[in-house]
Amino acid sequence: MKKFVVALFGLKIWLLLVFATLFFPAYTAEAERIEAAPTPTPAATAADKTTRKTSEPYTGDLSIFEDAERAKNLQIDRVMDLLGIGEKKTVADIGAGSGWFTVRAAKRVGNEGQVFAVEINQEFIDHINKRAKSEGFSNIKTVLSKPDDPMLPANSVDAVLILKTYHEIAEPVILMKKLKAAMRKGGLVGIIDRDGNGADHGLDAATVIREMKQAGFALKGQYDFVKPDNMDYFLIFE
Ligand SMILES: C[S@@+](CC[C@H](N)C(=O)[O-])C[C@H]1O[C@@H](n2cnc3c(N)ncnc32)[C@H](O)[C@@H]1O
């Protein structure tokens, strides 16, 4: 009887060892696979931090963005056509300022669309909220963002315009990587800026293209119709 109990105990140990050998590697492989899965907004690496000069974010009078000739000079309708901004679309205006572009995009997308007015400046956010109310727009949502994060929901945006703002973005590559995660499939990002060295309220197009590529975007189009003096450029990325 004693021998039988000892044999049974030995058999149990043996079965336990066989079970552990067969199933434990599978369990650890599964745990590693889950940990290695990509995250929607990967952590910034040291190479993503900018080392070039950027401009101080504008904090002055907002009326300068409301010039009566601006829509005509910028050909803003042509800009919106190229970005595919139409009925029911979701658009983000990053660095929205007075909301000049926000309200134009809001008219285009209609009541079933939405425009995110993204700003790091709380006073400008308050201004856009008042403006949206007084002009009767219920499809504008203001977003108080961070210098390195547009704070937009994942997979939510069809088109973005970054108008005279890119040169002010303190951490462009980190912000654009986060923006990439906010884009819907086929979404487009437009950047209008002027030539410069980063610190003088402009930045050369080649640097913008290089940084956008680093953030995972591909250049889709390059235009110079947005200003007759040839200082401004309009880039489209997807
Ligand atoms: C020169 S203004 C242009 C305003 C507007 N886009 C226009 O052209 O009418 C730049 C705006 O970008 C905002 N800004 C700067 N850095 C930003 C960032 N990282 N994210 C969002 N907004 C930013 C500033 O607060 C400022 O209102």
Which atom in ligand 1 lies closest to the alpha carbon of residue 101? 9
CA distances to 44, 145, 197 from 193, rounded to whole Å, are 25, 20, 12
pTM of structure: 0.84
233 contacts: CB under 8 Å, gap ≥ 6: 192, 193, 194, 195, 205, 222, 223, 224, 226
Q: If the chain, 238 residues long, is cut into consecutive pieces of 10 residues, what is the mean pLDDT of each piece? A: 55 51 40 38 82 96 95 96 98 98 98 98 98 98 96 96 98 96 97 96 97 97 84 95
Distance 204 CA to ligand 1 centre (A): 18
Give residue 35's pLDDT: 38
pLDDT of residue 45: 82
Nearest CA to ligand 1 atom 16: 169
DSSP state of 116: E
What is the best residue among 165, 167, 173, 203 to mutate for testing ligand 1's pocket, by most ligand atoms within 8 Å of CB?
165
Alpha helices by DSSP H, listed for 75-112, are: 76-82, 100-109
